[in-house]
Amino acid sequence: MTQVDFYVLGEAATGDRFTLACRLTEKVWQQGRRIYLHTDSETESRYLDRLLWTHRDGSFLPHGLLIEADPALNPILIGNGDNAGEEHDVLVNLASEVPSFFSRFERVVEPLDGNSAVRAAGRSRYRFYRDRGYPLYSHDIPK
């Protein structure tokens, strides 16, 4: 069964859920896992693509947009819509809704920041997973 982890930025933390997603993606990739980052729109996907290139000096994360990149060469893919390609390892969900394909992933990561709309949507997704019996974990990120 898919494990769902919520990562919640504290009030003193810098950045937003996108920068947190970059930090989490780097950590997960270092564990040898494949990652699919899911957003609400192509604009957000392209923003995240640029952010992954610059989020930390000296960092390199082999990534690309699902619609453009070769999955064999890019263990980190970014996309939106109803298609996650053939990915099934780790899903980082930056979309406001639970994607229809989430259950095929071993793990779902839900980054949240202090934005009230983001938190409200996160609570709704938490209830969705909980009501269906998925194992849930919450992690507070102080900074």
Domain span including residue 107: 3-141
Show the tokens assigned to 76: 């980190």
Q: Where are the alpha helices (DSSP H) in 101-143?
A: 116-131
Q: What is the pLDDT of residue 80?
A: 97
* Segment 36-45, tens digit of pLDDT: 999 999 999 9
pLDDT band at residue 113 under the 50/70/90 scheme? very high
Is pTM beyond 0.75 here? yes
Mean pLDDT to the nearest integer, 54-69: 89
| CATH assignment of the domain containing 113 | 3.40.50.10110
pLDDT at 12: 81
Question: Comparing 55 with 76, which gets the higher pLDDT?
Answer: 76
The pLDDT value given to residue 33: 98
* 13 membership: H or E segment, kind and range: none
Predicted pLDDT of residue 45: 98
Strands 35-39 and 90-93: parallel
